[in-house]
Structure 1
Amino acid sequence: MKIAIAQINATAGDLKGNAAKIIEQAQQAQAAGATLLLCPELALSGYSPEDLLLRDDFNLACDRALYALARELPGELTVIVGHPRKYLGNRYNAASVLQAGQVRQTYHKELLPNDSVFDEVRYFSEGNQPLVINHQGCKLGIVICADVWAPEPARRARDAGAEVLLVLNASPYHINKQQERHAVVRDRIRETGLPVVYANLVGGQDELVFDGASFVMNDEGALVQQLPSFEEMLGMVSFSRGAPEPAEIHPVPELEDAVYKALSLGFRDYVLKNNFPGVLLGLSGGIDSALTLAIAVDALGADKVQAVMMPSEFTASISLEDARAMASALNVRYSEIAIGPVFESFCTALAPEFAGKPFDIAEENLQARVRGTLLMAISNKFGKMVVTTGNKSETAVGYSTLYGDMAGGFALLKDVSKTLVYQLAKYRNQISPVIPERIIVRAPSAELRHGQTDQESLPDYAVLDGIMEAYVEQDKSWEDILALGYREQDVLRVTRLIDRNEYKRRQAPVGVRVTQRGFGKDRRYPLTNRYVFNEIV
């Protein structure tokens, strides 16, 4: 028996395009001698269609696409495809068995995740029946994604006679996610004694990125095959006497490599799937915009990226020099627009209102808003999407300007802490030195007043990022964060800044999620909120 894994990049709502990918994979699988093709979760509709699922017309279109797909598949190949299904008044996250032009059997996902970025309970009803199919003398049990994260669905499949477990997945990436998947699947194998074929989606969908890395484990929990991460591939799994034969194991990328690939893939898919002709960003001579530019070029190609340097009287000469050097190294279109005249005209208009008031954060933010306005004007004129350059640390504590450096269509580094920004910059320079070393070693600054540095306004980034991770990503208590060794005044300052700036984050563009909890779908705090984190009730 030979099973093919279709590790494809599906797009939400693109029923024709997703079906075409499945048909192409099916043709290749049959040509390679496979008798069954396993597709990812909701491969036909893309994951996740979200509130499209609440539309009757969308559900009807999915049904029609499923039956049309069955008719167009190679006749001798069995295909298991994930899709939404509306049945007897309920909606299900389903997997159907397609054979000889027909939809033969359908399985309904039993366990619906309703935490983190998942809200499947909003859309689907739970299934309650196992599905085991006979294929070439072997009984194959079918489950979907979250079903394998708890014992019951796999046990029910085994009790129904399954000898191999097939798992359809749309499991999004975050740091160290593959190790978690391996551990969970090994638990199910230990409980059931069944080998597992795990097919995962790949590609970007809004802020989520799916990393593929589909894999196969034998009945002892040993990894015997693994597909590449962050790329489409048709994998072939050969079975002998009910056991998967060893094949190539593509290693999981190391931390910086994996995050860089995730950011590149998520960004590229967002730009291309939404048909933007290109992107532009403000290049400041600082580390964040430098890394953003490098990723943008690697993801899209230099011809689709424009960098705009917008100096002011506070811009250091080395910032201009480094911005020019990097733009030249990456061969992108580069422009310089001095903001001084525009800024002065704003100040003149505001002079009666600001009379008697010193230069302060209002004028600092005004510079950022001038830059945002200029970038959006270029975007409107040429259709290019503005990419913001702020990182997760700045986003957390509000070290950013609404309608200024937050203005744009995609926040590439939205879930990347400042310390990780430096790690990624050094990683990228190991491939080829495109980020000037001076950008990496100099003290970060917004350059909105003379002599300004980030650390005048914020704790050291190592401290800020450690507290942010504990508070935002791990939901640790006040006592638990203090137990990590941070000073009480730093914990109080950072956590209060995080809570106080939720209103800004609600207005920020989407960005690629790479941690266990990003700002967006993951963390939903009320804007009007009087809870005091360190207050003992």
Structure 2
Amino acid sequence: MKIALAQINPTIGDLEGNVDRCLAAIEEGRRAGADLVVLPEMVIPGYPPRDILCDPGFVEAVGEATADLAARAREGPPAVVGTVWPSGRHRFRHPALYNAAVLLRGGEAHLAAAKRLLPTYDVFYEARWFLPGPPSAPVEIAGRRLGFLVCEDLWDEEYPLHPPAELRAAGAEALVCLAASPYRRGVLDRRLYHARRPRCPLVYVNACGANDELIFDGRSFALDGEGRPLARLPGFEEAVQVVDLLDKFSTCPTDRLETGPTTEAELFQALCLGVADFCRKNNLPRACLGLSGGVDSATVAVIAAEALGPERVTAISIPSRYTDPRSVTSARALAESLGIGFEVVDLEPLHAAAEAVLGDLLVGTAAENVQARLRAMILMAFVNRYGGLLLNTSNKTELSLGYATLYGDMAGG
């Protein structure tokens, strides 16, 4: 059975664009002879849509978009997509929706499975919008009985319900999991661990791209019944690949799946994707940042140049009466090396004016913080004048310890 793994990059709320991306992936699967095309969790509305799901008008539009995709994909192979689906139940001040895997076949959309295990930890709060789905039955496609899961349903080890085992007991020959699993260190190894526990052929299709603070790394894969890799898609980019799920001779090299420790290159890819998608999906034409000549701001500058292209990045050096001249020299050299824009704005006139106006107020903490706040004013002036986004150059240690200035070096995203 040939299954197309289609990891695509949806945008939250861009229903038309998301449907077009799905349609293109289904067409690519059709050309490759796929019997089924699998797309990620919540690919129609984008993940996570959060409280926009409390708007009945948006939910209705998602349903219409799903039906539109089904009609437009009529001539293609069956496809399973992640979307919202009405549960038919009522809950006070709750959308009462299913996080659903929906089968598109013959121009119509049918519920294949509703997510049963709703995560409410870390970045997840799905019980706010969704209800747990009922048990689902395997679905016959191209002569094979497939069981469908939605993301957390595969991570059932510490839950009282076990959807993979239930589907296997109901006669599923293989499992198909639609996911929107955010990137974090070591996450691929955890996905593989859970994917191998059912001990049957399994397809796992993950979203890629970034939405707000969440980055989705893709790296979808297929395993045979012994847990051996049949395919793995690349990380941090859209891709479609067709795999014969029941052909034990089509295994790919094992090292394509066993990743080991997270590398700096992988983290760099993730951060670049996060910056690039945040700007693209929010129609931000460029980015600015303060460049001090130190390690933190230099790292942000390198990420920004790679993510957006150097022509869309401007670095601003803001030396003060306390700045070592070598800091500006280092900042300028880095900017020239990266090919990004570079501006120098002397802080002294603003600093002196602040001292003249505020006088005795600038003692202790107030005096220590005034430079950071004046720098933020300069940086935001560039953003207001030329558009785009101010990139923050603090590090997580500083933020965790509270070593930062409110309305100063905490400005930006």
TM-score normalised by structure 1 residue count: 0.73
Name the counterpart of 1:237. 243
What does residue range 367-446 of structure 1 map to in structure 2 within 5 Å?
Answer: 367-408=371-412, 410=413
- The separation in 2 between residues aligned to 1:58 and 1:87, in whole angstroms, is 16
Cα deviation 1:283-311 (Å, max 9, x = unaligned):
00110000000000000001110000000
Q: How far did 1:188 drift? A: 2.5
How far has the Cα of 1:74 moved from its partner?
A: 4.6
The one of 167, 186, 197 aligned to 1:187? 197
CA distance in 2, matches of 1:76, 1:67: 15
CA separation in 2, counterparts of 1:353 and 1:163?
74
Alpha-carbon shift at residue 70 of structure 1 (Å):
0.2
Amino acid across the alignment from 2:140:
N
Q: Aligned pair 1:100/2:106, yes or no?
A: yes
Code of the aligned partner of 2:102: S
Displacement of 1:254 in angstroms is 4.2
Instruction: Judge conservation of contact 1:27–1:74 (CA < 8 Å) in 2.
Output: no
- 1:81 matched to 2:81? The reply is yes
> Partner of 1:18: helix, strand, or coil?
helix
Aligned 1:102-251 pairs, distance under 5 A: 102-150=108-156, 152-189=162-199, 194-240=200-246, 245-247=250-252, 250=256
* AA in 2 matched with 1:77: P
Matches within 5 A, 1:246-257: 246-247=251-252, 250=256, 252=259, 254-257=262-265
1:128-160 Cα offsets, whole Å, 9 max, x none, are 222311112211110110001115101111122
How far apart in 2 are the matches of 1:22 and 1:244? 29
Aligned equivalents of 1:60, 1:296: Cα separation in 2: 38
The answer on whether the counterparts of 2:138 and 2:167 sit within 8 Å (CA) in structure 1 is: yes
CA contact (8 A) 2:38 2:80 kept: yes
Quick one: structure 1 residues 69 and 244, their matched pair in 2 at CA, closer, same or farther if it must change by over 3 Å?
A: farther
Deviation at 1:320, TM superposition (A): 1.0
Matches within 5 A, 1:274-285: 274-285=282-293
CA distance in 2, matches of 1:149, 1:326: 45
AA aligned to 1:201 is A
User: Would the alpha carbon gap of residues 400 and 141 (structure 1) be closer, same or farther in structure 2, given more than 3 Å must change?
Assistant: same
Residue 58 (structure 1) aligned with residue 58 (structure 2): yes
2:306 maps to which residue? Answer: 298
Query: 1:364 Cα shift?
Result: 2.2
Q: Which residue of 1 aligns with 2:17?
A: 17
Shift of 1:64: 0.5
Deviations 1:185-229 (A, max 9, x none): 12232xxxx211000000101111000110111111222321111
Q: What is the rounded CA distance, in whole Å, between the counterparts of 1:212 and 1:126 in structure 2?
A: 25
SS of match in other structure, 1:407: coil
| Counterpart residue number, 2:281 | 273
User: What CA distance in whole angstroms lies between the structure 2 residues aligned with 1:406 and 1:314?
Assistant: 21
> Is the Cα contact below 8 Å between 2:224 and 2:246 reproduced in 1?
no
Match status 1:329 vs 2:337: yes
The gaps in structure 2 that reach 5 residues or longer are 90-95
Checking the alignment, whether the CA contact within 8 Å between 1:305 and 1:333 is kept in structure 2 is yes
Give the Cα separation in 1 of the matches to 2:249 and 2:269.
29
Q: How many aligned residue pairs are there?
A: 400
CA distance in 2, matches of 1:70, 1:294: 43
Structure-2 separation of matches of 1:248 and 1:238: 16
Q: Which residue of 2 aligns with 1:521?
A: none
Answer yes or no: is the 8 Å Cα contact 1:216–1:244 preserved in 2: no
User: Per the alignment, in what secondary structure is the counterpart of residue 230 of structure 1?
Assistant: coil
SS at match of 1:350: helix
The amino acid of 1:130's aligned partner reads S
Identify the range of structure 1 (296-305 vs 246-255) with the bigger mean alpha-carbon deviation: 246-255
SS of residue paired to 1:129: coil
SS of the residue 2:245 aligns to? strand
The answer (yes or no) to whether the contact 1:238–1:244 under 8 Å persists in 2 is no
The one-letter code matched in structure 2 to 1:407 is A
Q: After superposition, what is the alpha-carbon deviation per residue over 1:84-116, rounded to whole angstroms, capped at 9, x for unaligned?
A: 112313311001110111113431111101101
Paired residues for 1:312-351 under 5 Å: 312-351=320-359
1:131 is paired with a residue whose SS is: coil
Instruction: State the distance in 2 between where 1:130 and 1:292 align.
Output: 46
1:535 maps to which residue?
none
Amino acid in the other structure paired with 1:48: P
Q: Give the conservation status (yes or no) of the 8 Å contact 1:215–1:225.
A: yes
Distance 2:408 2:81 in 1: 45
Counterpart amino acid of residue 129 in structure 1: P
* CA displacement, residues 32-69 of structure 1 (integer Å, 9 cap, x when unaligned): 11121001100111110000111111110011001000
Decide which moves more: 331-340 or 71-80: 71-80
Match of 2:367 in 1: 363
Letter in 1 for 2:222: V
In 2, Cα distance between equivalents of 1:188 and 1:294: 43
The one-character-per-residue Cα deviations of 1:401-455 (angstroms, maximum 9, x if unpaired) are 11111112x1xxxxxxxxxxxxxxxxxxxxxxxxxxxxxxxxxxxxxxxxxxxxx
The whole-number CA distance in structure 2 between the counterparts of 1:361 and 1:119 is 38
Percent identity of paired positions between Structure 1 and Structure 2 = 38
Q: TM-score, normalization: structure 2?
A: 0.94
Report the 3-state secondary structure (helix = DSSP H, G, I; strand = E; otherwise coil) of the residue aligned with 1:134.
strand
Contact 1:217 1:244 (8 Å CA) reproduced = no
C-alpha contact 1:26 1:79 (8 A) present in aligned 2: yes
Asked if 1 retains the 8 angstrom alpha-carbon contact of 2:177 and 2:204, the reply is yes
Kept in 2: contact 1:211–1:231 (CA 8 A): yes
In structure 1, C-alpha distance between the alignment counterparts of 2:302 and 2:82, rounded to whole Å? 36
- Are residues 210 and 379 of structure 1, via their aligned partners in 2, closer, same or farther at CA, if it must alter by over 3 Å? same
CA distance in 2, matches of 1:77, 1:224: 21
Q: 1:103 to 1:150 in 2, by over 3 A?
A: same
Q: CA RMSD in A?
A: 1.5
Equivalent residues of 2:150, 2:178 under 8 A apart? yes
Paired residues of 1:175 and 1:255 also in contact (CA < 8 A): no
CA distance, structure 2, for counterparts of residue 148 and residue 110 of structure 1: 10
Whichever residue aligns with residue 2 of structure 1, its letter is K
Which consecutive segments of 4 or more residues in structure 1 shift more than 2 A?
Answer: 247-254
Letter of the 2:141 partner, please give it.
H
2:85 corresponds to which letter in structure 1?
A: R
The 3 A distance-change label for structure 1 pair 380 and 85 is same
